[in-house]
Amino acid sequence: MSECIDPIVGKILAGWRYDISGLAPEMCADYDDHFSACEHCRSRQRLHRTIDIALIVLASVSGAVFLLAFGVIRHFEPRHTFWLELAALAGFALSALIWLVVAVATPAPITMVDVAKIGARHVHDHLPAEIRERLPEELRLKITGS
């Protein structure tokens, strides 16, 4: 694995988990330059964003499973229904809390919006020209960014 080209900047970025989305634009520029020059930090940034997305997906899946369990318990009414329902709801609440913490404390939502934008741009570029022309100017501007 390659070394960071500027360990001081690299250490600062590591402290922020390679997330500069919360910085002011004029401060971002220097760190953006470092990311474009430093393979080490770029790959670390990718890794951390992947972890954030994985956490939020995991919390979503876990929340859905607990809700499903709640529905199943309600439907079949096994013995100790009340306690099982309570456990399922507690699991759902915990999953929702984890989801919220990840969404607030990490740039996962921004990363997902970026991924969605890239996907939308990809679809937009493959649309037939006559359909592309029919898209409202405002929407086209949002998708292509120009």
Q: Given the rule CB under 5 A, which residues bind Zn ion?
A: 4, 10, 38, 40-41
Nearer to Zn ion, 41 or 102 (CB): 41
| Side-chain half-sphere CA neighbours of 121 within 13 A | 12
Compute the least distance from the CB of residue 41 to Zn ion, in Å: 3
Contact assessment for residue 122 and residue 69, using Cβ atoms and an 8 Å cutoff? no
Compute the least distance from the CB of residue 5 to Zn ion, in Å: 6
Compute the least distance from the CB of residue 83 to Zn ion, in Å: 52
Closest CA to 70 of 83, 85, 52, 56: 85
Task: Give the C-alpha separation, 136 to 63, whole Å.
Answer: 37
Eight-class DSSP state of 24: -
Compute the least distance from the CB of residue 53 to Zn ion, in Å: 22
Nearer to Zn ion, 38 or 143 (CB): 38
- Neighbour-count burial of 53, counting CB atoms closer than 10 A to its CB (0-12 exposed, 13-18 middle, 19+ buried): middle
Nearer to Zn ion, 17 or 40 (CB): 40
Nearer to Zn ion, 14 or 65 (CB): 14
